[in-house]
Every structure is written in structure tokens, then in C-alpha cells.
A and B are shown apart, each in its own frame.
Chain A
């Protein structure tokens, strides 16, 4: 219609986008030690080098990676099974989906509360164990929250991400199953075979995307490790915030370098995802040709 129209339509996203990029770049510049307001004016990689040499920060890095990788792998497997269960039992809408949506709606802060009331040493699980005679006092119940094993945090992510994965990949798996999956069954493939050879592989784009989203999210998220994490080591975002609010303002570049590290690893995850999907796409094109 009008040549100017698209440029008018993108005004707000451009303004917000500029602000967004400015925020990210500003953080990166500060991580290189350039904060004139605090009298820091030389550009250096020292802050990155020193966090990578500091055992406290390295433990934080290991912890964050462990939490996000373990919880995301568990969530993607269980989430795919849940998606299949929803598709094959024909529960793609209605009350069951409403319950799934409920889990997506509950914020991580309230998930922390759930975990506290169920898994802490005087929580409901410990009470049930006591009633069953498995433990004789609160102290005998294993420490699952505020502890180095991070059991509670991982469980919290899994609780919220399994429904997310199902909700995210449901429509694709359902449409694949309704068309090609059922066609292969009509041609004589068993249900199991048609799922693993037809429906699952063709649903992978949505499942892979869901995996990237939950992996990067749980790596950079603050709420759960802040509320139910151990005193030491702390997750990277929590550690970064502690450095950020340190009264000595010269700690600021350390906070920003930790943030830079979070960004770098998040982007590596996204880049690997991009490479994998690109390869798959090329392969798909070849398959289509022959």
C-alpha cells in the first residue's frame, strides 16, 4: 500500500530494541572495566581472567551449568512423554490442558514456596516418612533445599518445564500424528514404531526449540537459586547480583564480567542449536530431493 507503512510500524520496536542493545552493550563495556563514573577508565580483560581463576566463581559456574543441564534433560524427556500421552489419549484440549496451563502460570517464586512446604526437613514429605516410621526425627530427613546437591532447584525447574515443553510442542506433535502418524499405522506400522520413526522425528523442531528455551532460561534465572539455593556455591546470576550491590563500587566490573560469562555461555548454547538445526534442515532438503 504505502512505502512508509512498514517504517511507521517498526518505530516502537526499534526504540525498545535500541534501549535493549544499549543495556547489553553497556553491561559488556562495564565488564571490561570501563566505568568513568567510578573512576575506572582503562579497558582490560583482567576481570574476566580473575573470575576464571577464582575458585568461588568457578564453583558457581559449575553449579549453574549442572542445574541447567540436568534439569533441562530431565524436563525434555519427561515433557516429550507427557506430550505423547496428551496426543495419544486425545487430551489436546479441555480440562487436562487447563491443569497443564496452571503449572505454566505459577511463577518460580511460588514454586520455591511449594518446595519449601513439601521438601524441607519439617515439610510434608518428611512428615509422611516419619508417619511411615522411615525416619525418627526431622534431622534424619535428607537436606534437599539450601544444600549443595541442588535437588530442590532441579526439581523446581522440572516441575515447571515439563508442562511447558508439552504445551510448546503439543500442536506440532498432534498434527503430525493426525496426518502422517495415523497414515503409517494404517499402512501396518505398530503404534510404537510409528511414534519413534514418524511422529517423534517430525516433532523434533518444536522439541529442540523448547530445549533451547529451558536450557538458557534455567542457566540464567535468578528466582529459584536465590530462594532455595545453598549459601555456597551460589548460582552465577545470584553471585553477580551480590557483586553488583557490593558497597565497594570497584566490585561492579566483577558483577558485569559474571554477567558477560552468562551471556557468552547462553550464546554458545544458542549457536550450537543454530548449527544443529541448520544441519538438520540441509539433510531434510536432501531427503526431500531423493
Chain B
């Protein structure tokens, strides 16, 4: 007998507060496994955001700091510049990164900060009750768009990865999805690359993870995964948008 899968030491024993079927748990595990595999658990500082992932500092088995809403890249900038030998990452949702924190993320990328950004895009504001986010798809229902998002009225969803890949200071930007084990394996590779990029002093790295919000979307967890595949991936295509040659 040999153990071929067990919980990573990159996560604490704390049970998460996330709703059943929420992909935050998968994303947490992938980050924890990546840090463990790279031997970085004792040398990493994580920057938690505001949103459903606000308690992520209880779940990652590394030093964590809670940042003001949207300001995780600014906090990460300060930490990384002060202790450049530490691995620094932010863990942000789309409300945090793509709405209130848009300026911080753009300018962290613009300055080419040597940090790793884990961006959870579930196309809705989960924590506050399912309101429309900048990433909400056209036609997608939200509590503030009960008939579905009207693009002519609210604009079309922001594609953060495409936007940041255009910033000269960004080194590595990839979009992956968490809707199926096959894609989860790819997401793990992308997260590993995001941290490897930082270790190689490659500059700003961001991995966008397409995620679900079964509660906010009004779907059961399995239906939410199917909805993600059918609706989010066509609008938010998966793949590497920018990569450094040496990583």
C-alpha cells in the first residue's frame, strides 16, 4: 500500500467556511500543494483579500496578512520589496481584483512587481449575496440584475487576464479552469509556474482560475461546473496569454 493522495501540509486543519461545492477549496488546495512541492511553506507570505476568501488566512499554512479591499497587490508590493527573499502571493476574487482593486492590480503589473497573483473569477459577488460583478456574463442573472446583465446598460465583462497581459511589466499571465479534474491538473501546473516565475525573479505573474459560485448562481454544485464550462469558457478562453521565455 502506498498513499497516492493526501491533504497537503500547505493547508491548515481548519475546515473552510465556503458553501458546499465552492471551488475556492480546490484553488486553496492547489496553492497549498504548489507551495509544498516547491519547498516554500516556511518562506511564503500570503496576502488575503476581501470577499468570500477573506478568511483564507485561516486556511493557508503560511504567514498571511489581511489586506484592505482590493489592496492586496499594494500590500504584496511592500512586503516583497522589504523582504525580497520571501515568496509573496495574493489570493483575490473578482470583486476584489477586477472591481475595487483594479488600479492596484494594473499598477502592480505595470511596475513588474515580482509577486504571484491567484485570481479567482466566479463572475459574481459571492460574499455579499450574488450581486453583478464586472466579470458577470451578459444575460447572467444576479441580485442586482434580476433579468440578467444587459451589456448595453452595464457594459461587457472585463477580461482581466487579457488586459494585464498587455501591460509591459507583466511576465506571466494564464487563465485556467477548475470545472473538471483534467483542467484542475492544468490549473496546478499554472500555479506552479506562477510561483516558479517569482523564484526566477521573472516579474509579475497572475493565474486566473475560472471558478463557480453555486449559491450565488442558484445552481447545485454539479450544475455550476457545467454552467462554467458552457458559458464562462467561451467568453473567457483558457490558455497562456503571456509567458517569459526563461521559465
A and B part of one assembly: no
Binding site for A on B (CB under 8 A): none
- A positions within 8 Å CB-CB of B: none
